[in-house]
Amino acid sequence: MANVVVVGAQWGDEGKGKIVDWLSERADIVVRFQGGHNAGHTLVIGENTYKLSLLPSGVVRPGKLGVIGNGVVVDPWALCAEIERLAAQGVAVTHDNLKIAENATLILPLHRELDQMREEAAGAGKIGTTGRGIGPAYEDKVGRRAIRAQDLKTLATLEPKVDRILVHHNALRRGLGQPEVEKSTLLDDLAAIAPKILPFIDVTWDLLDTARKAGKRILFEGAQGALLDIDHGTYPFVTSSNTVAAQAATGSGVGPRGVGYVLGIAKAYTTRVGSGPFPTELHDDIGRKLGERGHEFGTVTGRARRCGWFDAVLVRQTIKVCGIDGIALTKLDVLDGFDEIRVCIGYELDGERIDRLPAGQNSQERIKPIWETFEGWSQSTRGARSWADLPAQAVKYVRHIEELIECPVTLLSTSPEREDTILMRDPFAD
């Protein structure tokens, strides 16, 4: 049996929550391997809706172990609040079903504050972050001044590390005209949160190695999407971590051979939150209709998402960069009732056709989509659970998407309900 990595093949918000939940029933362990609580997953299980940001999706299912890997930046205060919200819905998160990597970097209050200060100071040039401190925490990780989860075990000897991080942050705050952070305040905050976090901390790379050798099924749950990857995304309008499939190994401590099948998630159209290039964006009634029908508002931020037609160029590129084996195509039902449906099959840049997204920001802003138009369908696809339930034109649309992205569609989602899924190939069976 293969382990499975789930990654977004667009700019995030592709419906990974439902697919991960659907797969988690077949898994023993669900691992988050990058990002932080800037990501959001909405799970609909029966009559219950769960909104998760930092916790792995498996925690809502009895008997599953959730792991927050070393590649994640963890806000301990946000994590505790999320655990409390789930408790109010009858889901108990304890040290038995959640483990946090001892070498995971912590997001501190000063990271959130710096994130918001810099976005405000940037004005029209802002990146469009969620303001939750993700970027500054990753900066401190790379700068080798971060406070990590394991440091909460040794608060008595933490002062030199706090001094080092404050030298950096207080200099930035002075430059932004903001008051400095008091060392005593930060130490008090860490001392107060430590008892709530320490029970979850573990040597997760070893735990995962033992589970893998025992034949346990591991599901690696990516956050955001490959087009937000710090290296391969629409830089600088990206997140601060690697969101491609290879990060599943680095961000969890599992070797590359232990990762397995890579499942990419893509919507049947395209959305994006925040600033940055979006070649197929629609600023008309069709774009607004896609947003309304798809309920395109961020799980974490509540921000309206920008909407446009499916971009086969971008998805094909992320498939290659991530080594995606199969695509789960979601929200097909949102396209019901359109007379015509467009798909971007290439770009024009300065009068020449190209079949990739250029890396340069200026070039990305100048590209124009080359369209292929499809006949739409009037029948509803919502709730379909087999190919026989789909209109012929919808089947043609999906099959042609497969040709354009050079990858099979292995799952098809036709509503937020987990059972409204058409399975062509079980990723865990490979």
Q: Which residues are catalytic?
A: 13, 41
DSSP output for 3-28: -EEEEESSSS-SSHHHHHHHHHTT-S
Question: From CA 102, how far away is CA 160, in angstroms rounded?
Answer: 19
Angle at 25 between CA 21 and CA 30, to 5 degrees: 65
Grouping H, G, I as helix, E, B as strand and the rest as coil, residue 42 is strand
Residue 423 phi/psi, 5-degree rounding, is: -105, 120
Residue 263 phi/psi, 5-degree rounding, is: -105, 120
| H-state helical runs in 15-92 | 16-24, 76-88
Among 5, 105, 33, which residue's Cα sits nearest to residue 430? Answer: 5
Question: From CA 16, how far away is CA 46, in angstroms rounded?
Answer: 17
12's CB contacts (< 8 A; 6+ apart) are 39, 223, 224, 225, 227, 228, 273
Angle at 128 between CA 125 and CA 131, to 5 degrees: 120
Question: From CA 419, how far away is CA 424, in angstroms rounded?
Answer: 14
Tokens of 276: 């940055």
Among 421, 409, 411, which residue's Cα sits nearest to residue 383? Answer: 421
Work out the widest C-alpha separation in the chain, in whole angstroms: 68
